[in-house]
Every structure is written in structure tokens, then in C-alpha cells.
Amino acid sequence: MNQKLTVIIILTTISAFFSQVLLGNHAWGTDPSIFQQRSVHSASVEPHTIYLPIIQTTDGAFFVSTTGSDGNPGTASAPWKTLQYAVNHAPAGGTVYIRAGEYTGFTLTRSDLTLSSYAGETAYIHGNGEDTYTVKILNSDHIVLSGIVFHDNQKQYSAGVYVENSTSIALTENIFYDHQGFGIVTKNVSDVSIEGNDLYDNANAIEIRYGSAGVVIKNNKIHNNTRKVDSGRGAIGVTFYRTTGPVTAIGNQLWDNHSTGEADPEGAAFEVYAGGNVSMIGNTIWENETVLETGTDGQAACSNITFTRNVVYRIARQQGLILRCASNSMIANNTFDGLDEFVFYLTHFDGEYGGSIEGLKILNNIAVNGRVYSIESTLPASVEINHNLVYNPGSSSIRGEYLAYVKGKGNTKDLSEFQDWTGYDLLSVSLLPMFSDAASRNYHLLFTSPAIDIGKNIGEPFIGLAPDAGAFEYSP
């Protein structure tokens, strides 16, 4: 590999420099390996003081191996041994390649560094049995972790990667499993990308806390997270905890996130607690306990929640959205098929975790083969529910014999009766949606679908006279 030598020498004259080197009066004049022993530092020095150079690969690449030594220069042929040493000593703009093997974690407080498994190999980073966080990124920026497996931290509230007070962080194409707490946690961050990861067998896969401007959770596989963090938390795909946003979860697959071994399981694909400015767009969701659950402590609103263009279906168990608080929120252009209990559970300032749903809009959705509404309290006049296709000829889902429930009225199988009771869905239809192939989970619309052009314009592009209901706009 090409190498460059950076030599800083302070001499009284240039001739003194040449006399020392050419005559070989210094060891480093004849033995280049000495270059690897010390790093360059700048300081006030006396004449003739010699600063030994750094060896650095021209492409900024450094290496860590289980067979290396932290006394080495970090080259491919003489790698470092520990990740903590590597993140402390690699220069800004460098990339640390981690050779195959098991490593313990590290704490990173710096700028501009990439860590990645070496090409064709897999690096594993596990908990050390003492620290809650396997990898901790604090007060840092422009950090990338890619292609690494984070696993086995059994401390309560543990995390594979914990990021706080940092910006421009990318967690890409990693695997997170077997954490008694969380796969990934962020707190008071900005511009964080969590993309293409596989997260399973944790309690909660991802938790976004407090400041979260520009956090994007994209194209991840989030599944089989079944553990409990404590008596009140666990078995969640993604939690948004007191978020200020904007934060977006887009294009993810979320399945089998629920507790096990219980008559009434807990868990959800998404959870919003006392936070807002959250968008969940274009995700595919199945076999979780709940699709989305919201709640608050009564002191902070959960508001400005967007849930659009998602596809949700049940194979054996999947209930819908529990909206205890969701003010000024939009649930639109989703497709729901065969959900248990309800698609939309709606309350307003009701119960321990209840808050406001003022300004909630439920528009342009398709909900079939299960009970669509469970309205558990009087809702504010500002709630808008309309332009949906709701159809339930009777199904095997729990409460699947009904279309809607309204507190004080009971269950109904008939859209017109629901309209009379509530004044909602006056421009909605109850007809077979005509999907391309629902059995194969292809929920695109056929050209004969009654969902075409029945939607309300919510500011997104559409084809035809009006938006279509459902997750997919029909295109001839």
C-alpha cells in the first residue's frame, strides 16, 4: 500500500538537516521503521529538536484486528487491536476498517470518522458486561458506523449504539440484536440517518428521544423485538419519546414486534409518547401487537403526527392505531386489511395517557375485513373522518363481524348507521376495493376500483379528478 511520510523538523539551518540525515547520525535516517513509534505534535521547541513523523495510508484507511496491537501504526499489515484506541487516534476524515472477530465497545467524542467492517468480513461488537451502552457517541459530528453487528448487552436499559448531543451521524447496514434494552437510542441530536439496518431480538429496536431535527429512519428491517425494558416498556419497533422533530420513518418493514407468553400481548410497530412532529410514511407493517400507540403524561402534547402511504395487514394477529392523543395530525392514504379489534381506536382526554385529538384528520384510507372504528369517548368537532373506503363483509379477525363501535351506541355492521350516529364518513363508501391481488399483498388498485377519485386533496400529487383512497394512487 502506498504510504506518505509527514516529517516536521525544526532546525536552525537547512544544512544541519542534510548533514544529520545523509550522515545517518540519527536512527531514523537509516531505519524507517522507527517512524512508527511516535506521533507528531506541535509545540515550542529548542533548535535541532526532531519530531518523529506519522505513517498514514494515502487513502486515510486504518485497520483493527483481534490479532493486532495498539502499539502498531494501524496499517493493514500492522493493525491496531482495540476500537477505543482506533477512534482515539485515527485522524479526521479517516476510515477504520474492522477485521472479522469479536470486539468490545467504545466511547466516541470527536468529528469526522467512519468505522466499517472490512470488505467480505463481519466485525461483531458486544457488551462488556459493565457498561449500559456498547457504543456511545457523545458531542460528535460526521460519524459513520457501517456493516457492523452489535449484539449481546444484557444490562437493563442497554443499547447497542447510543447517540447524544451529536449531529450528522449515519448508522447504515448494521445488525442489532440481543439487547435487553434498545438497539439504537438517540437523544438531542440532529441530522441522523438510520438506514438499511436489521434490528431484532431487542426490547425496543429504536428509540428517538427529545431533540430530533432531521432524524430519518429509512429502509430498515425491524422485527421480532419481544423483550420488555421494564414493566411499562418493551416489544416496540420504533419509539418517539418527547420528540421535537421533525423526524421521519419511511420505507421500513416492521413485523412481529410484540411480547410473548401472555394472554394479552403488548407491543407496537410505532409508539409516540408526549412528542410530535413525527412522520411515518410508506412503511409495511404486519403481525405486531399494535400498529401505532400514542399517549402522554398530561403535560406535553403529542401532536403533528403524520401516518401516510403505509400498508398494514394481519396474518394471525395485528390490531390498529390507538390514538389517545394526536392533535393536528393526519392519518391518510393508508391501506389496512383484516385487522383485529379496530383500525382506529379514538379517545379525547380519556384515561391515564389521554390527551387532545383536536384537529385530527382521518382521510383517504382503505380499511377492509375488520372493525374499522372504536370510538371510546366524545370527540371534538374539529376531528375530520371522511373520504375513506371502509368495507367489512365479515372476517375472521377479532370483532370482525362489525364495521364500527361507538360508545353509547354499540356496534354496527352498517356504514349508514355509523354515519347517522357520528356524522363521520359522509363522503366515504363501503364497497369491495378491487385490489390487484390482496392474497399476495399487492394492494394496488384495479381500474375498476371504487376507491379511485374518492379522496380529498391533502396537498400530495394525484392522478385523475381527485386523489384515490388507499396507499397507492391508481396509474393506468
Cell triple for 273: 409518547
Averaged in consecutive runs of 10 residues, what is the pLDDT profile of the chain (476 residues)? 36 36 35 33 37 48 98 98 98 98 98 98 95 97 98 94 98 97 98 98 97 97 94 91 96 96 90 96 98 92 96 96 97 98 97 95 98 97 98 94 97 98 98 98 98 97 97 95
Q: Which ranges constitute the DSSP H helices of 360-437?
A: 415-422
pLDDT at 21 (0 to 100)? 35
CA dihedral 326, 265, 315, 353 (to 10 degrees): -10
Q: Which residue has the cell 421480532?
A: 224
In a domain, 449, yes or no: yes
**Rounded CA separation 241/186 (Å):** 10
3-state secondary structure of 36: helix
In a domain, 388, yes or no: yes
pTM of this structure:
0.87
In a domain, 222, yes or no: no
pLDDT at 232 (0 to 100)? 78
pLDDT at 446 (0 to 100)? 98
**Do residues 449 and 433 touch, judged by C-beta distance below 8 A?**
yes
**How many structural domains are present in the chain?**
2
In a domain, 237, yes or no: no
| Core vs surface per residue 153-182: b (16+ CB within 10 A) or e | bebebbbbbbbbebbbbbbbbbbbbbbbbb
In a domain, 447, yes or no: yes
pLDDT at 42 (0 to 100)? 36
Q: Which of 16, 39, 56 is the last residue of a domain?
A: 56
Residue 280 identity: M
3-state secondary structure of 464: coil
In a domain, 227, yes or no: no
In a domain, 169, yes or no: no
Q: Which ranges constitute the DSSP H helices of 111-179?
A: none
In a domain, 382, yes or no: yes
Q: Which of 56, 74, 99 is the last residue of a domain?
A: 56
- List the domain range (segments joined by +) for residue 52: 3-56
